[in-house]
C-alpha cells in the first residue's frame, strides 16, 4: 500500500478537493485494511477479498473507496444509510471484520493537535493527519453475515415483477398481497411521473 501522503493526494484529486473528510477517510481505510490483513486491496488477488460497508455518503466515503478500491458497481462497496461516520472492513477469505467509527471527541481534539487558527477546516485537516488512531477512531471487531445475493460476481437471482414486468435482480423483490413485486410497485417510487404518455427516448 502507498504511504499516507501519496494516498491523501490521490484521494483529494479523485474527490475534487482536500478536506478533513479525506484525511479521516484515508486513515480509516488504511487502518481497516491493516486490521483485516490486506496490504494491496486495489489489485488481484486481494481485490476479490474485500468488502467495505460505509454508513455515510459524505467526503470520507470517497476516500475509503479510493484507498481500498472498493466500488458500488463491483459490489464491493455497500452503502448503509445510517448517517454515521463509520465503515466496516470485511476480509471475505478470513471472515474477519472491523467496524471503525470516527469519534465525535476528535472534533474537539482538533484544537490540541491542529495549528492555532480561526479556520476550523484547516485546524481539523491538519489535526486529523497526526491525531493518534485511538483518539481519532473507535474500533471493534465484528461479525458480518453477507447474504449470498449481495456478493460480487454474476447475477444469480432474478425475478419478474408481476405488476410492471420489470426484471428484479439479486433478491430485491418483495412478496405483497400474494404477488411478487419490485420495490417501486410495492412501496412507491422516489420520483413522480410528469407526463405518462410522453417518452423522452
Single residue of 130, 142, 148, 164 touching other proteins by CB under 8 A:
148
Q: Which stretch binds other proteins (CB under 8 A): 2-10, 22-30, 170-178, 188-196?
A: 170-178
Q: Phi, psi at residue 141, to the nearest 5°?
A: -80, 135
Least distance to other proteins, CB of residue 100, Å: 19
Q: Phi, psi at residue 107, to the nearest 5°?
A: -60, -45
> What's the grid cell of residue 137?
477512531
Strand duo 174-176 + 179-181: pairing: antiparallel
Note whether 139 binds other proteins by CB under 8 A: no
Burial annotation 151-186 (CB, 10 A radius, 16+ → b, else e) = eeeeeeeebebeeeeeebebeebbeeeeebbbeebb
Note whether 166 binds other proteins by CB under 8 A: no
* Residue among 78 and 129 whose Cβ is closer to other proteins: 78
Show the binding pattern over residues 64-103: x = contacts other proteins (CB under 8 A), - = does not: ------------------------------xx--------
Residues 6+ apart with CB under 8 A from 106: 127, 128, 131, 135, 136, 137
Are residues 88 and 52 in contact, defined by beta-carbon separation less than 8 angstroms?
Answer: yes
Least distance to other proteins, CB of residue 153, Å: 10
| Residues in 32-61 that interact with other proteins by CB under 8 A | none
Single residue of 156, 160, 164, 167 touching other proteins by CB under 8 A:
156
* Residue among 62 and 173 whose Cβ is closer to other proteins: 173
Are residues 138 and 100 in contact, defined by beta-carbon separation less than 8 angstroms?
Answer: yes
Note whether 174 binds other proteins by CB under 8 A: yes
Cis ω on the peptide bond leading into residue 104 (within 30° of 0)? Answer: no
**162-171 long-range contacts, Cβ below 8 Å, gap at least 24?**
171/147
Note whether 171 binds other proteins by CB under 8 A: yes
* Residue among 82 and 95 whose Cβ is closer to other proteins: 95
Note whether 122 binds other proteins by CB under 8 A: no
Residues that contact other proteins, how many (by CB under 8 A): 20
Interacting residues toward other proteins by CB under 8 A: 94-95, 145-149, 151, 156-157, 159, 171, 173-178, 180, 186
Amino acid at each position: 500500500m502507498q504511504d499516507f501522503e501519496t494516498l491523501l493526494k490521490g484521494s483529494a484529486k479523485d474527490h475534487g478537493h482536500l478536506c478533513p473528510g479525506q484525511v479521516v477517510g484515508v486513515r480509516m481505510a488504511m487502518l481497516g485494511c491493516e486490521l483485516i490483513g490486506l496490504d494491496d486491496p486495489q489489485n488481484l488477488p486481494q481485490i476479490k477479498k474485500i468488502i467495505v460497508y460505509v454508513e455515510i455518503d459524505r467526503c470520507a466515503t470517497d476516500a475509503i473507496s479510493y484507498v481500498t478500491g472498493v466500488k458500488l458497481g463491483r459490489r464491493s462497496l455497500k452503502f448503509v444509510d445510517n448517517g454515521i461516520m463509520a465503515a466496516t472492513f470485511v476480509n471475505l477469505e478470513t471472515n474477519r471484520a472491523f467496524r471503525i467509527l470516527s469519534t465525535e471527541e476528535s472534533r474537539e481534539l482538533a484544537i490540541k493537535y491542529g495549528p492555532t487558527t480561526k479556520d476550523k477546516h484547516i485546524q481539523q485537516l491538519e489535526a486529523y493527519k497526526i491525531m493518534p488512531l485511538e483518539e481519532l477512531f473507535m474500533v471493534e471487531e465484528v461479525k458480518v453475515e453477507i447474504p449470498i445475493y449481495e456478493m460480487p460476481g454474476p447475477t444469480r437471482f432474478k425475478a419478474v415483477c408481476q405488476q410492471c414486468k420489470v426484471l428484479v435482480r439479486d433478491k430485491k423483490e418483495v412478496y405483497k398481497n400474494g404477488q411478487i413485486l419490485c420495490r417501486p410497485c410495492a412501496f412507491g417510487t422516489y420520483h413522480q411521473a410528469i407526463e405518462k404518455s410522453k417518452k423522452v427516448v
